[in-house]
Structure 1
Amino acid sequence: IRKDYFRMAFKLQVIWENENSQKLTFNDGMPSSVHELSKKIEDECDLQGQQFRLQYMDKDFNKFMNLKSVSNLSDKDTVRVVFLNANASCVSHVPDVSPVAHSHSSDFHDADNENSSTSASDTDILSSSDSTSARSSLWPSPFVLPRFPYDVQLKLDQGNSAFRSSGKFLIPDPKLKSGILDALAEEIINFKAYPSYSEFSDVAEALVDKHPCLKEQGSESGYSGWKMSLKFKLANYRRTLRGLGCPEVTVNALKHKPEGKHSPAYGIKKPKKAEVNYCPVFPDGQTTESQEKMRVELLAELQKNNNSEIVRKLMDMTFAYRRHEIVHDSPFVVDFKSRWPALFQVREINAEFRRITTLPLQSKFLYQLDRFSDDLLKVFLKKGGVIRKRIQDAMVPMSQNDNIETKRECILKGLCIYLNEDPQHLVKEYL
């Protein structure tokens, strides 16, 4: 380590789950140990009480690796926070993952303990290497650039150096531009096959921010041309994946379009914002026939007592099969429920949500409910007439008891009344 390493100013980008990021500046130099750096990140990013480890982007393997020494870090590097406790997938200070209401409320305790929360064994399956979920993280914000091939990175470093010294922009030759776009397309596909317009902007903006020599003169944003090039590159990349049988793109092949609707733009099926694993591939060695046999086996196992572990494993192993059925066939709920009754248990609803989004359903929901409770109360008070009176009656327990679970129950009941629904049917109907 250089003698001035712990004295020179450093900037780090810190990212953690649920699309959170923060820039940290160390004016007095890098902390002398990983422990001190962790403490600094804990304080600055408001992560007190969370157990986590740090990872850095390794330039040799172009992947996040566990940080063992601060000497692995350079100025403007990205550090990722990986939470160690199972329920810390959301941002800091996530509330309890207990059921919405306490046992003292008769309207909210129909489900037993086994069905009212995600068990530790659910978490084990979802985080295991055997899980069939192909992707493991949401779209990053901000987007983290990959490490480019050596020759591409060398030209970019030279271009950035010339830009800083003389302000000269780099006009990439076709080979350099192709190398940049290829690397970006491969990184994008790790998260999405069909990025949105704003997500293409995220990538292009990250590119010109880190490599200012690539900014486009005459462009208001400085990267509009890069954004268009990325869109075309990814379209070509999807064509390659379609030829290899990637299910997420083959579902939009012309042969799968309805009769008389053979247009490439008709009815494109692509994941919604929170869907990370939209249409994953089958596990190794599995076919439609073998997955169907597992589904039938699952129906038989569901009839047995004290068999939740086997049911859980079979549900995880058939995840891709269910997603293919939903994406390709768009079945009615009643038909889908008859084929997959286990999915409609509370435990499996939680597990399936996490397979699709990588996020824990209950803790995420309760965190957002607590976050917007005050705003919801303001909206409720704007209602008039009978609805306002019913909402006020539903809010009475909250004024008598400051328990967080009582507040959640009142807010949910008030929301039901606001939407002209019967709050007595909330849990029975949907959970």
Structure 2
Amino acid sequence: MASFKLRVIWGDDNSQRLTFSDGMPASLNVLSKKIENECGLQGQQFRLQYMDKDFNEFMNLTSVSDLTDKDTVRVVFFTSRSSSSSHMPDEFSPLAHCNSSESCDADNENSSAETSDADILSSSTSARSSLWPTPFILPRFSYDVQLKLNHGNSAFRNNGQFLIPDPKLKSGILDALAEEIINYKAYPSDSEFSDVAKALVAKHPCLKEQGSASGYSGWKMSLKFKLANYRSKLRRLGCPEVTVNALKHKPEGKHSPAFGVKKPKKAEVNYCPVFPAGETAESQEKMRVELLAEQKKRNNDETVRKMMDMTFAYRRHEVVHDSPLVADFRSRWPALFQVREINAEFRRITTLPLQSKFLSQLDRFSDDLLKVFTKKGGVVRKRIQDVMVPMSQKATIETKRECILKGLCIYLNEDPQDLVREYLVSRVLFHYKQ
């Protein structure tokens, strides 16, 4: 049977080639699972669109029969709330295309290993569960705002008349957008503000600004001011993600708004979350001490995982506020430095699985890394060539990854055996505890 190839796009600068050796996938659910695993999109909700050759535009994919070999498929992400029926009809749900109940059960079994990881974020309702969506999904506005926008869009379609929003309408739009933005970030970047403003005028063209090159520069500026005011409101309510930057928390003699501003890095979703309901710093410290005792018990991984989950916000506060040394932090949280908990903590902070994300990025940049290796000379070049020999003898993805990782260690003047030895020591300790 001939292989079936697809080009998958899931961002402005992310695309990947997928090959189905058994031909066209049996269902849309199978295709979704393949894309989810190969592109490292576990834990995210999305629908698929394909390039329609008649209209030369992306259309919602409702059946794999719409696809042909070497087609282009685009991933459209949903927010945690937009996966409801108001934004995502049943025909776009990945499980809506199972050919039978047996096939659905099989797919559920395949994803059961990921379910426990996804549960990491479930115990704390304050933890964010989604990355910044691309493209940005607008929230549903209040009834009166939506009614005015519908009338404005109708007038724009009929006679090209733009809508000049009154202060109440503009305030209603900006309030809803600010509340939606804060679900993902308290401090969006300039480009992310552009994403929101662009999505607004794209869905409601009557709001497009005349005389503006982009058509939304004024909305973008208004959004920045609105979110700054919204952060001030959250600061008064004690939201830790913004109170950490309050003037009263600045060091003595450093009472400048710009000094030591603490903001999430690019990949951090849960930067400084609030404590779980009913928990305080004192109760969390007590749980941390209990965790030290629980960690020493055998066959106690599930209890340790739950306690690590419950104390996640406490650890983040410690990291953000105190910036402890690694040695001190390790002595306080020894369970965090086990292989399983490293993966779990990465998911708590970024909502992404560490291993599959790392391997997908390694595969993405493998050709570039090989080009970099060839430019190295001398003894290092010879050592890299020696570790690359198995890749030419056994052309599997696992062998290629192993060779590239070893070559990268040598390129960085490190010993590949040290990397493997550290991994083996971790595995031995893990099995010993079992």
SS of 1:64 mapped into structure 2: coil
- 1:10-409 equivalences under 5 Å are 17=41, 23-24=49-50, 37-39=62-64, 63-66=82-85, 122-123=116-117, 125-126=119-120, 129-131=122-124, 134-409=127-402
Count of residue pairs the alignment pairs up: 366
Cα–Cα, structure 1 residues 392 and 56, in superposed 2: closer, same or farther, change >3 Å?
Answer: closer
Cα–Cα, structure 1 residues 40 and 181, in superposed 2: closer, same or farther, change >3 Å?
Answer: farther
TM-score between the two structures when normalised by the length of structure 1: 0.76
Deviation per residue, 1:303-335 (Å, 9 max, x gap): 112211111111011011001101111111111
Give me the whole-angstrom Cα distance separating, in 2, the residues matched to 1:68 and 1:143: 13
Deviation per residue, 1:1-47 (Å, 9 max, x gap): xxxxxxxxxxxxx9985697765577999xxxx9x925468887759
Letter in 1 for 2:308: M
Give me the whole-angstrom Cα distance separating, in 2, the residues matched to 1:201 and 1:366: 31
Contact 1:192 1:276 in 2 (8 A): yes
Match of 1:412 among 402, 405, 413: 405
Letter in 2 for 1:143: F
SS of 2:84 mapped into structure 1: strand
Q: In percent, how many aligned pairs have the same letter?
A: 72
Deviation per residue, 1:62-95 (Å, 9 max, x gap): 743158996x89xxxxx676899xxxxxxxxxxx
Contact 2:287 2:311 in 1 (8 A): yes
- Higher RCO by CA contacts (8 Å cutoff, separation 6 or greater): 1
Contact 2:291 2:304 in 1 (8 A): yes
Contact 2:235 2:243 in 1 (8 A): yes
Cα–Cα, structure 1 residues 396 and 83, in superposed 2: closer, same or farther, change >3 Å?
Answer: farther
Cα–Cα, structure 1 residues 299 and 261, in superposed 2: closer, same or farther, change >3 Å?
Answer: same
Cα–Cα, structure 1 residues 270 and 184, in superposed 2: closer, same or farther, change >3 Å?
Answer: same
Cα–Cα, structure 1 residues 345 and 42, in superposed 2: closer, same or farther, change >3 Å?
Answer: farther
The alpha carbon displacement at 1:170 in A equals 1.2
Deviation per residue, 1:171-203 (Å, 9 max, x gap): 111111101100100110111111001000000
Give me the whole-angstrom Cα distance separating, in 2, the residues matched to 1:228 and 1:371: 36
Letter in 1 for 2:84: M
Cα–Cα, structure 1 residues 308 and 119, in superposed 2: closer, same or farther, change >3 Å?
Answer: farther
The alpha carbon displacement at 1:391 in A equals 1.1
SS of 1:65 mapped into structure 2: coil
Give me the whole-angstrom Cα distance separating, in 1, the residues matched to 2:228 and 2:246: 13
Letter in 1 for 2:205: P
Deviation per residue, 1:370-415 (Å, 9 max, x gap): 2221221112112222221121111112112223222111100111
Contact 1:19 1:141 in 2 (8 A): no
Give me the whole-angstrom Cα distance separating, in 2, the residues matched to 1:80 and 1:272: 32
Letter in 2 for 1:37: T
Contact 1:55 1:67 in 2 (8 A): no
Contact 1:288 1:321 in 2 (8 A): yes
Contact 1:132 1:282 in 2 (8 A): no
SS of 1:258 mapped into structure 2: coil
Structure 2: gaps spanning 5 or more residues: 1-31, 98-109, 427-434
Contact 1:200 1:230 in 2 (8 A): yes
Letter in 2 for 1:417: I
Deviation per residue, 1:248-292 (Å, 9 max, x gap): 111111111122211112221111111111111111110000000
Cα–Cα, structure 1 residues 57 and 376, in superposed 2: closer, same or farther, change >3 Å?
Answer: closer
Give me the whole-angstrom Cα distance separating, in 2, the residues matched to 1:348 and 1:137: 20
Cα–Cα, structure 1 residues 275 and 176, in superposed 2: closer, same or farther, change >3 Å?
Answer: same
SS of 1:398 mapped into structure 2: helix
Letter in 2 for 1:189: I
Aligned-residue CA RMSD (Å): 3.5
TM-score between the two structures when normalised by the length of structure 2: 0.76
